Amino acid sequence: MDDLDEKDDSKRKTRNASEKKRRDQFNLLVAELGSMVSATPSMSVDTSVSASERGRKMDKTTVLKSTIAFLRQHRETSARFGSYLVKQVT
């Protein structure tokens, strides 16, 4: 019976270590994304992020909201610029 307990304990420890590694990697990527988004000028005019959220460390939800807002703005700007280029060429 002790062998089964030791196997279960070993599996649990391995699973916990893998899960901790995954969480640590995710948190590192969110932190990097947060630093990239908070450094962009468009963040200061983003109405989906309050002034108090901009002034402090962003939580994961705020990082994701800010990233989505940035990407939407970037997509719109790219589309406008693309149509401008088409008008210039024709």
Instruction: Parse the chain into domains and list their residue ranges.
Output: 2-89
**Predicted confidence pLDDT, tens digits, the chain (90 residues):** 577 788 899 999 999 999 999 999 999 999 999 999 887 665 444 555 554 555 568 899 999 999 999 999 999 999 888 777 666 666
Q: Decide if 43 contacts 66 (C-beta within 8 A).
A: yes
Q: Decide if 65 contacts 49 (C-beta within 8 A).
A: yes
Q: Residue 44: name the closest of 69, 14, 71, 11 by CA.
A: 69
Report pLDDT for 68: 95
